[in-house]
Amino acid sequence: MEITSVHNPRVKQWAQLLDRKGRMAQGKFLIEGTHLVLEALKSQEELECVVFSLDKGIPGELTEYAGQRTEWLGASDAVIAKCTDAKTPQPVFAVVRKPAADDAAWLQDPQALVVVVDGVQDPGNLGTIIRSADAVGASGVVLGKGTVDLFNPKTVRSTMGSLFHLPIVEADLTELLPKAEDAGAKVIGTSLQADKNCYEHNFTTASWIVLGNESAGVSPETEAFVTDRLIIPMRGQSESLNVAMAATVLLYEALRQREYYQR
């Protein structure tokens, strides 16, 4: 099937997914570019359709998946431009149904490694946090209120496909964190006033790492549930680390202790 008019009803529906209201109403989101579509296909995500440029054809990396499990549509470049957000034109995009994720298993896992995001606003920061969580094999990521929309096109692009590799849930942190603590997890935050540095902390047990807003930090409501406060030591003159960088330092220290160091 081919779609060439930007006034096609399906095109109008797809374009609405560029807006959070449209994504909420339809329960779907857009992914743009060959890499993200390939990652979604490899991860067996629930794709409604894949739309590719009629002029350029199906990207070579995707040909083995063409016609499998989902609808493949050729479209004019005008249609693709209307339905994508990236400044550089993409030859392909896909419509993905939002996944259902469950955090219950993390509460029972004595070695769970969970990243808790409390109000991070920059899509690039959230994407990097998710990529780092994916890289170390974290159990999952929790997004608290006030955090940038995971399915914002900029956030999706910044994850580089990692959002398809691990569970990501939205939750009320004031309800979820007490459950984690009751289950025996350490709820970990960073503080410049902490007496203990991150290399002295034992990350081999259930660890929930809380990351706050870029300027305001962790909200007082969430901070109340932090059980362990750590400082990331800095020998230079920088006052602090970017939230995504701090997340990566903590996650890789957890990985080092769990996989490469015997206590």
pLDDT, mean of residues 74-78: 96
Q: How many separate helices (H) and strands (E) can be counted in the chain?
A: 10, 12
Structural domains of the chain in order of their starting residue, each with its CATH number: 2-97 (3.30.1330.30), 104-260 (3.40.1280.10)
Distance CA 256, CA 42 (A): 28
What pLDDT, on a 0 to 100 scale, did the predictor assign at position 164?
96
| pLDDT surpasses 90 at 226 | yes
| pLDDT surpasses 60 at 29 | yes
Contact call for residues 177 and 219 (beta carbons, < 8 A) = no
The band of 37, judged by pLDDT with boundaries at 50, 70 and 90, is: very high
Distance CA 179, CA 185 (A): 9
Q: What are phi and psi of 126, to 5 degrees?
A: -65, -40
Q: What are phi and psi of 224, to 5 degrees?
A: -60, -20
| pLDDT surpasses 70 at 60 | yes
| pLDDT surpasses 60 at 263 | no
pLDDT in tens, 164-182: 999 999 999 999 999 999 9
Other residues' Cβ atoms within 10 Å of the Cβ of residue 150: 22
Q: Which residues contact 139 (CB under 8 A, 6 or more apart)?
A: 105, 106, 109, 112, 113, 114, 166, 167
pLDDT in tens, 3-26: 999 999 999 999 999 999 999 999
The band of 99, judged by pLDDT with boundaries at 50, 70 and 90, is: confident
Q: Please choose, from the candidates 105, 168, 169, 162, the residue with its C-alpha nearest in 3D space to the C-alpha of residue 135.
A: 162
| pLDDT surpasses 80 at 147 | yes
Averaged pLDDT score across all residues of the chain: 94
What pLDDT, on a 0 to 100 scale, did the predictor assign at position 46?
92
Give percent of the chain above pLDDT 70: 99
